Every structure is written in structure tokens, then in C-alpha cells.
Amino acid sequence: MKILITGDSWEANWNVKHKTYTGWPNILADYFDITNIAQAGVSQYKICKQIDSVNLDDYDFIIFGITSPYRIYTPNHPVHKQDKLHSNSDLIFTDIEYHLSQNPTDDLKSIMNFYHNHFDVEYAEFIHKLLINWALSKLDKNKTIISSNIENNKNFIENITVQSKFNRLVLFDSSQFHAAKKFIEKDMEEDRLTLFGLFYSLSSKDIKYPCVENKRIL
């Protein structure tokens, strides 16, 4: 069976940069004939271009990735164009915000200025829907699998909500399903830096897992 995979980092082959990482597309490749043209960090427009770059009739199934509506297309990313995994990335607020804090170039400053003064969430979400509908019009619904860690959030029951509070540390078991509701907040009076990390193992009989105590707002 021949399967085409399109999408962003959720569907991409991370082995191009991290040889020891085995994601679900790599596991599929052990059992099927996989063509993976997904690219980390891309916008929905570039996913549409992925679909347009191949003959869809060559495949038995197509996995169609849906990414964040808040990624802005760019032909040349100011930070990631030399990165093996993210070389074709588009712009997203949190990524630009972080790299601006590390290396405040004029290019990054101008992008951040656009986000603060010109970016409109409603417009971005509308264009995002148009792009998805365009892609679905090209795909055979009988052999298309939609893949997204954004669009499928509605299928889950929200048990714990963590509010965006200043100087907050949040620790949780990453095997529990989790997601962010939004990546941009309007009318913020201060910049925020988010640091993300993983602990590979914790061992203590006194650990209290928060997901047991659900239906809470922190």
C-alpha cells in the first residue's frame, strides 16, 4: 500500500535531524510504502503546495495535515532556513518572540512589529479555512485521512485548564493529552517568554499526579 504524508512537524520525518527519534510516520514506514513530504514548521499554504506538487492518483491513501492558522507564509525564514528539519518553516509568533529575545535583529523586530500592529486573528482563521477547503476539494474523501493536533481538540473533554499567569511553572505528565488554546494574546502590556523542557524519568513515591484531580482551573 502506497501512502502519501503531507503536513507540518506533526507529520514530518524528524530523522532528518534527530536520528534516534522515532515518530509515528517512521513506524508507518515499517509496514507501508511511505512518501513523506511533510515539513516542520510550515503554514497551511505550504501544505497545499505539497499536495499540488505530486500526482495524488499514485497513492492508495493520503494523510492530509492541518496546522495552526496563525502561521504566516514566508519564502525565506529569518532564523531556520539552514536547519535540516525546519528549513522551509513559516513565521509564528512564539518562535519569533523567542529568537528576538536571543538575537534582536532588524528583521525579527519588523516581524514582531507586524504581529503587534497588523496581524488579525479572525482574518488568519478565515484564510486558513479557505486553504483547507481548497485542499479537500483536491483530495478523494474515500482515501484521505486528516491528521492534526489542532483540529481534533474538540474530540476531547477538557479536564484541567492552566491560565496564563506571570512567572508560572507548570509540570505535567506529557503522556496525557494536552494542547494550547491560543498562541497570541491581544492588548498584553508586557512580553512573555515561555520555556519548555522534558524530564525523561522521575521516581518518587510521593509524586502526586494532577490529572487524577480533574475538572479544575489552576
The fraction of the chain above a pLDDT of 90, given in percent, is 56
C-alpha cell at 112: 514582531
Q: How many alpha carbons lie under 13 Å from residue 134 in its C-beta half-sphere?
A: 15
pLDDT tens digit string along 9-44?
989 998 888 887 778 899 899 999 999 999 999 999
Per-residue confidence (pLDDT) for residue 20, from 0 to 100: 78
Separation CA 142–CA 153 (nearest Å): 23
| Overall pTM > 0.75 | no
Per-residue confidence (pLDDT) for residue 17, from 0 to 100: 86
